[in-house]
Amino acid sequence: MTPVRSAAPIRQTFAVAVIAATLTACSSKPPATSTGEAPPEQVQGIVHVCSSCHGMGGHSISPTFPRLAGQQAGYLEAQLKAFHDHTRADPHALTYMWGMAAQLTDPLIKGIATYYSMQAPVPGTPQDPGEMAAGQRIFVEGLPDRDVPACQGCHGEKAEGMDAIPRLAGQHREYLQEQLRNFASNARANEVMHANSAPLNPAEISAITAYLAAQ
């Protein structure tokens, strides 16, 4: 029997080829301005490729791929550079984003980040009321007995984020759970988030992500 191959590498290879073709097609065109910005048509071409996973306007449907609409531009820019430099190496980063970001220039990264930051965020999805209430307590108060600070101290009162600190409100619950587990295990290296997520048990991760997904 012929083994079934995952479609993910095939889709990524095709998408990378499309990115390369887009960059080649626009390479002879000057920047839109004298400030080093990427040409708008180039940004839109790459965003079109991104939409195959992240949805139109960054409104992702699959929890494998984070919602980008309304995300902080500084955070998106930092993550795209980390994918490009291979300094973010969690499993999905390696599988999907290393190849996708390989040919992105700094001006193009900035243009993509700006585009998604200006899109309307996806509204939150209601979750179990009990879990949401438990998650809200962690978000607002932290877990002082385990030196886990209140999430809102960095991510904002409405989980909207700021600059390089991501927006969490309305994100896929499953995606948030995966990232907390990645931080806890150091699969995704971040000293602050490792310290804050490692003490959380599965029930607390479930609660905090239920609250955030509903915002």
The annotated binding site for heme c is made up of 50, 53-54, 97, 151, 154-155, 193
Rounded CA-CA distance 104/3 in Å is 34
Rounded CA-CA distance 110/140 in Å is 32
DSSP secondary structure code for residue 78 in this structure:
H
Rounded CA-CA distance 83/149 in Å is 28
Binding site members: 50, 53-54, 97, 151, 154-155, 193
Given the structure tokens 């998650």, which residue do they identify? 135
Token code pair at residue 51: 């939409």
Report whether 214 contacts 132 (CB < 8 A).
Answer: yes
- Pick the closest to residue 30 from 21, 20, 40 (CA basis): 40
Rounded CA-CA distance 160/47 in Å is 22
- Pick the closest to residue 208 from 164, 165, 162, 155 (CA basis): 155
Phi, psi of 162 (to 5 degrees): -165, 125
Report whether 52 contacts 60 (CB < 8 A).
Answer: no
- Strand, helix or coil for residue 108: helix
